[in-house]
A and B are shown apart, each in its own frame.
Chain A
Amino acid sequence: MAKKVEVRIKRQKDNQAEPYWEEFHVDYQPNMNVITLLQEIQRNPVTVQGEKTTPVAWDCSCLEEICGACTMVINGQVQQSCSALVDNLEQPIVLEPMRKFPIVRDLLVDRTRMFEALKKVKAWIPIDGTYDLGAGPKQSQTNQQEMYLYSRCMTCGCCVDACPQYTPDNSFVGPAALGQVFLFNQNPTGKFNKEERLAAIMGDGGIQECGNAQNCVRVCPKEIPLTTGIAKLNGATLSQALKNLLKK
């Protein structure tokens, strides 16, 4: 008989419903990932008890850990389900939705709050227009390499899921958005609007919410040095606060 993979999934019919658990046995294939498990369940939605059920709802798109969609909590660890290989996971493999966001259904959550945070911190460069205005500013390789670390943030939500200070009912913008403030304040043109972004993280829900727990940096799949960025921003907001004080 083919080797089976045991999976336990925390399910929830909709935003209001009570959660419940279902178990599945899926045929093992070498090198398979959690996405393949969920796809096999779609093709044969029958529980261990032999009961027909509905396919599990989850979010995914690129399947190569670059779109950020397929984040979930796997064996207690928040991560992308595409890069979670079955061979590396203890069984039964336990799948749960992320813990800080409203649940839409099963493993699928609504991460709108993270995108709203990007709006709040003004994570963009205010260019003059799309017309042909020639080349951008020169940049050193060192600066490009440092910015590149932060520009790979895919808004996957692992960091905020792991952060003790980010709760479903507070207004903390979270480590990902702070990382973006650092990125844009580092950009040679982005720098011009540095103060605006610092102001956005100095109020409620801003950088002072961070308790320096360092959880975020440990779970970030893109290994973004979030706490380094946050520490430098802390310095910047302090001197900004001082400047504001002196201006008064």
Chain B
Amino acid sequence: MAKPKFLVVGGGLAGLMTVIKLAEEGHHVDVFSVVPVKRSHSVCAQGGINGAVNTKGEGDSPDIHFYDTVKGGDFLAHQAFCKDMCYKAPAVIYLMDRMGVTFNRTPEGLLDFRRFGGTLYNRTAFAGATTGQQLLYALDEQVRRYEAAGLVKKYENLEYLGMVKDEQGQCRGIVTVNLDSLEIQSFRGDAVVLATGGPGLVFGRSTNSMINTGSAASSAYQQGVKYANGEFVQIHPTAIPGYDKLRLMSESARGEGGRIWVPKKKGDERELRQIPEEDRWYFLEEKYPRFGNLVPRDIAAQEIYDVCVNKGMGIGGGHMVCLDLTHIPREELNRKLGGIMEIYEKFVGDDPRDIPMKIFPAVHYSMGGLWVDYEKTPDGLLDPQSPRNHMTNIPGLYAVGEVDYQYHGANRLGANSLLSCLTGGLVCGPAMAEYAAGMNGSAEDSSSRLFEEEEKKWQERFEALKDMKGDENPFKLHQELGEMMIRNCTIVRNNKDLQETVDALDDFTARWKNCDSLDAGKARNQSVLFINHLWNMIELAKVVAKGALMRDECRGSHLKPDFKLEQPKDQESPEYQEYLKTWHEQNDKWLKTTIAEWSEKGPQISYEPVDTSLIEPVPRRYD
């Protein structure tokens, strides 16, 4: 048999780690990306990466990390994946250190760790406040080394459009479009992985990069891949509002001691610095004495929303609260948070070392994504020999990184995503190799007709897109889509608005058909490429809205006040017993993975059980 060929779509942390695992075993890998992989969205990650290395004498361990992660995700995460991730974490951090990541150090020269949300331990390794950039660069360098050695070939201006399936429904390759020339080209691969990141752009403005359209995942979904937990979208509590994007102020700001507050007096007009300590309301510290400003993101975002929108207590009556670092020495801020200090200074114009920052929650991360399979060992870890790990329901097609769904449940803990991308890659690469070794017949032998047909289909599609001459400007239509999604599908949700959104999305599809291509050229026709993305974004928006509409409960990031169970404070009280009973009933009904399958009429939703064999679900508490 010919040597197997592997296609990796996406060169963020998850994609590149997968490439390295394959190349290290001597396999040839083709990598596809819409930007030079060094510019992938992973560069944006600021705060850090978790691993229970336990260097501060706190007694931290992978088991505690595992528990924090599962509890943080409101028990919706798949426990084998989570456990595997937390157990691999310390070694992954060491590996990245060996690759040359400039992690911050302790005086003795060891790796330094800081606090992050949803845990009481110093578990987060960091490189200033540009950890994602440093991690991505390290992998980019290793991949360049394999590229120089001839094992890896990068296509950094080819966009994945869809997969090529054979008669048996196996994935045999992909179809791409050349961003510079709109040329359509197919590639054969024995195993293919999508590592294409998150879909933030479905919400118009978010903390995400402009390339995070979720287009590749949406296309896979439209070709029959199951999309899981789409309604679970993380809203990060602290971002700077902006016209073009909502820039993140990392959770590490609070990890290093940053405090959230608003003036106690509604509409207090004094300059923030003039407001004395006793006139400030540190609402998170007050309500959650144990976790304080470091409650998980779902809770922090919901509380900030409540303070600003329901209580009208935001700064100057607006939708803004303070994130205050001014009590921390400048030198320390520069050394540990320099990257985000600069962002705030450059984009807002104030120095956050002197003036409290003004922030508000923003769409940040998708816990949901493409459904993937796994096999576990008797200790509840992932079986390292299994080709099923990270494989979607289409044989031969894998998914890894933010585009997958199983690690973070209903709410991701900060600094766990860089980790799941890396450990996911460590698992996914070998699984693909196993699959290719065991498959019958190689992609090389499958009929060229399959590939020609798919190419032709996409060529026709792009010709049609170029010819669109309607009245809708696609970029404006996208702006409108985003505004609606932010209004109805973010922190607080209700069924009336969700039903309206589901209906409106059908109108968006109709309006999409009336787009103006704006540009009929071939060279870097960004308009036509965008119109294709926009179609995919509308299809994904439907998954988010429908999943949210149907899930009548509150879990993690999914807050529906109409179905909220108020938790009595006193656990000994009869009311608490009453509450527990209803909680169990609700939980039995809803502790399930939402599965969306594409159909012409919109997403078809069903539910799958979640494996909770290692940690038993309980009501979450952080106070």
A35 in contact with B244 given A66-B44, A135-B97, A136-B94 (CB within 8 Å):
yes
Contact indicator A125/B141 (Cβ below 8 Å): yes
B367 to chain A, nearest CB (A): 22
Chain B stretch 585-620: residues in CB contact (< 8 A) with chain A? none
**Interface flag for B574 (CB, 8 Å):** no
Residue of B whose beta carbon sits closest to that of A145: B335
Q: How distant is the Cα of A2 from the Cα of B582 in the complex, in angstroms?
A: 56
In the bound complex, residues from chain A placing their C-beta under 8 Å from that of B100 are: 124-125, 151, 184, 187, 189-190
Query: In this complex, what residue of A is CB-closest to B179?
Result: A104
Shortest C-beta distance, B257 to chain A (Å), equals 19
Contacts A36-B244, A104-B180, A148-B127 given; indicate if A139 touches B109 (C-beta within 8 A): yes
Contact B475 A13, beta carbon cutoff 8 Å: no
Q: Is the CB of A14 within 8 A of B210?
A: no
CA–CA, A190 and B138, complex, Å: 12
Q: Does B245 contact A (CB under 8 A)?
A: yes
Q: Assuming A68-B39, A154-B43, is B523 touching A13 (CB within 8 A)?
A: yes
Residue of B nearest to A184 (CB): B100
- Contact among B21, B97, B141, B475 for A136, CB-based, below 8 A: B97
Q: Are B107 and A148 in contact (CB under 8 A)?
A: no
**Do A61 and B521 have beta carbons less than 8 Å apart?**
no
Docked Cα-Cα span, A35 to B180, in Å, equals 21
Whether A118 pairs with B144 at a CB distance below 8 angstroms is: yes
A211 adjacent to chain B (CB < 8 Å):
no
Whether the pair A64, B347 counts as a contact (CB closer than 8 A) is yes
Is residue A242 contacting chain B, with contact meaning CB distance below 8 A? no
Please pick, from A39, A45, A65, A130, the residue contacting B426 in the complex, using a CB distance under 8 A: A130
Interface 0/1 of A144-164, CB less than 8 Å to B? 110110011011000000000
96-127 of chain A: CB within 8 A of chain B: 104-106, 108, 111, 115, 118-119, 122-127
- Nearest residue in A to B522 (C-beta to C-beta)? A14
Which residues of B, 91-126, contact A by the 8 Å Cβ criterion? Answer: 91, 94-95, 97-100, 102-111
Tell me, rounded to whole Å, the shortest Cβ–Cβ distance linking A56 to chain B.
9
Flag A7-39 by CB within 8 Å of B: 1 or 0 each. Answer: 000000111000000000000010111011001
Q: Closest Cβ of chain B: how far from A46's Cβ, in Å?
A: 11
Expressed in whole angstroms, the minimum distance between the Cβ of A186 and any Cβ of chain B is 10
Within 8 Å CB of B342, what residues of A? Answer: 65
Q: Given the complex, which residues of A lie within 8 Å of B346, measured CB to CB?
A: 65, 83
Question: Is B148 in the interface zone, CB < 8 Å from A?
Answer: yes
Query: Given A31-B348, A61-B39, A62-B41, do A125 and B109 touch, yes or no (CB 8 Å)?
Result: no
Interfacial chain A residues near B580, Cβ < 8 Å: none
Q: Let me know if A64 and B524 touch, CB within 8 A.
A: no
Q: Verify B103–A65 contact, CB threshold 8 A.
A: no
- B47 contacts chain A at the CB level, 8 A cutoff: no
Of B128-136, B226-234, B378-386, which binds chain A? B128-136
B407 within 8 Å of A (CB atoms): no
Q: Within 8 Å CB of A60, what residues of B?
A: 210
A64 contacts B526, CB within 8 Å? no
Answer yes or no: A44 CB below 8 A from chain B CBs. yes
A32 to B110, CA, bound (A): 42
The reply to whether the CB of B26 lies closer than 8 angstroms to some CB of chain A is: no
User: Whole-angstrom distance from the CB of A207 to the nearest CB of chain B?
Assistant: 20
Residues of A within 8 A of B144 (CB): 115, 118-119, 123-124
The CA-CA distance from A7 to B128 in the complex, in Å, is 37
For residue B244, which residues in chain A have a CB less than 8 angstroms away from its CB? 32-33, 35-36, 39, 63, 82
Contact for A43 among B40, B99, B133, B473, CB less than 8 A: B473
B109 touching A138, Cβ below 8 Å: yes
CB within 8 Å for A61 and B107 given contacts A44-B473, A124-B142, A133-B98: no
Q: How far is the CB of A231 from chain B (nearest CB, A)?
A: 21
CA A67 to CA B133, docked complex, whole Å: 8
Residue pair A55, B41 in contact (C-beta under 8 Å): no
- A36 contacts which of B40, B243, B524, B526 (Cβ < 8 Å)? B243
User: A residues 224-245 with Cβ under 8 Å of B?
Assistant: none
Q: What is the minimal beta-carbon distance from A149 to any residue of chain B, in angstroms?
A: 9
A51 to chain B, nearest CB (A): 13
Kindly state the separation between the CA atoms of A62 and B39 in the bound complex, as whole angstroms. 8
Task: List B contacts of A134 (CB < 8 A).
Answer: 94
B272 an interface residue at 8 Å Cβ cutoff?
no
Give which listed residue, B40, B108, B242, B524, contacts A104 with CB less than 8 A.
Answer: B524
B44-A67 in contact (CB<8A): yes
Task: Say yes or no for B527: interface residue by CB 8 A criterion.
Answer: yes
A119 pairs with B147, CB closer than 8 A: yes
Judge whether B104 and A67 touch: CB under 8 Å: no
A5 to chain B, nearest CB (A): 12
Of the residues B128, B141, B209, contact of A124 by C-beta under 8 Å: B141
What distance in Å separates the Cβ of A89 from its nearest Cβ neighbour in chain B? 14
Pairwise interchain contact B211-A55, C-beta atoms closer than 8 A:
no
A13, A29, A61, A148 pick with most chain B CB within 10 angstroms: A61
A208 at the interface (CB under 8 A from B): no
Q: Determine whether the beta carbon of A43 is less than 8 Å from that of B44.
A: no
Could you tell me the distance in whole angstroms from the C-beta of A32 to the nearest C-beta in chain B?
6
Question: Does B476 belong to the interface (CB within 8 Å)?
Answer: yes
A138 contact set on B, CB distance < 8 A: 105, 108-110
A49 is an interface residue with CB less than 8 A from chain B: no
- Once the chains bind, are A57 and B524 in contact (CB under 8 Å)? yes
8 Å CB contact of B521 from A15, A29, A54, A152: A54
Q: How far is the CA of A67 from the CA of B99 in the complex (A)?
A: 20
Complex formed: what's the CA distance from A106 to B39 in Å? 20
A201 to chain B, nearest CB (A): 16
Residues of B near A136 (CB, < 8 A) are: 94, 97-98
B405 at interface by CB-CB < 8 Å: no
B residues within 8 A CB of A124?
Answer: 100, 141-142, 144-145
The residue of chain B having its C-beta at the shortest distance from the C-beta of A105 within the complex is: B524
Cβ 8 A contact of B105, one of A62, A130, A141 = A141
Are A140 and B109 CB-contacts (below 8 A) given A61-B39, A125-B98, A147-B102?
yes
Q: Does B343 contact A (CB under 8 A)?
A: yes
Q: Could you tell me the distance between the alpha carbons of A82 and B343 in the complex, rounded to whole angstroms? A: 11
Residues in A whose Cβ lies below 8 Å from that of B43: 62, 66-67, 154
Is B243 touching A29 in the complex (CB atoms < 8 A)? yes
B110 — which chain A residues lie within 8 A by C-beta?
135, 138
Q: Is B518 an interface residue (CB 8 A)?
A: yes
Give the docked Cα–Cα distance between A144 and B521 (Å).
Answer: 49
Give the complex CA separation of A138 and B105 in angstroms.
Answer: 9
Residues in chain A near residue B524, CB distance under 8 A: 14, 57, 104-106, 108
Asked whether A61 lies within 8 Å of B209 as measured between CB atoms, the reply is: yes
B242 close to A31 (CB less than 8 A): yes
> A169 at the A/B interface (Cβ < 8 Å)?
no
> How far is B347's CA from A65's CA once the two chains are assembled, in angstroms?
10
B133 nearest in chain A by CB position: A66
Contact check, B35 vs A61: say whether CB atoms are below 8 A apart. Answer: yes
B269 at interface, CB cutoff 8 A = no
Q: What separation, in Å, do the CA atoms of A123 and B244 have in the docked complex? A: 34
Q: How far is the CA of A29 from the CA of B41 in the complex (A)?
A: 27
**For residues 46 through 95 of chain A, which have their beta carbon under 8 Å from a beta carbon of chain B?**
54-55, 57, 60-69, 82-83, 85
Residues of A within 8 A of B102 (CB): 144, 147-148, 151
Residue among B36, B100, B104, B426 with the highest chain A CB neighbour number at 10 A: B100
| Closest A residue, CB atoms, query B94 | A135
Cα A152 to Cα B110 in complex, Å, equals 21
A42 at the interface (CB under 8 A from B): yes
13 contacts between A and B (CB under 8 A): A31-B242, A31-B347, A33-B244, A55-B527, A57-B523, A62-B39, A63-B245, A66-B133, A118-B144, A126-B145, A127-B98, A133-B95, A135-B97
Please list the 7 inter-chain residue pairs (A to B) with the smallest Cβ-Cβ separation, ordered nearest first: A138-B109, A124-B141, A14-B523, A136-B97, A105-B524, A132-B91, A54-B519
A57-B526, A65-B343 given; name 12 further pairs at CB < 8 Å: A14-B522, A31-B243, A61-B209, A64-B248, A65-B342, A111-B36, A119-B147, A124-B142, A125-B141, A141-B105, A151-B127, A190-B100
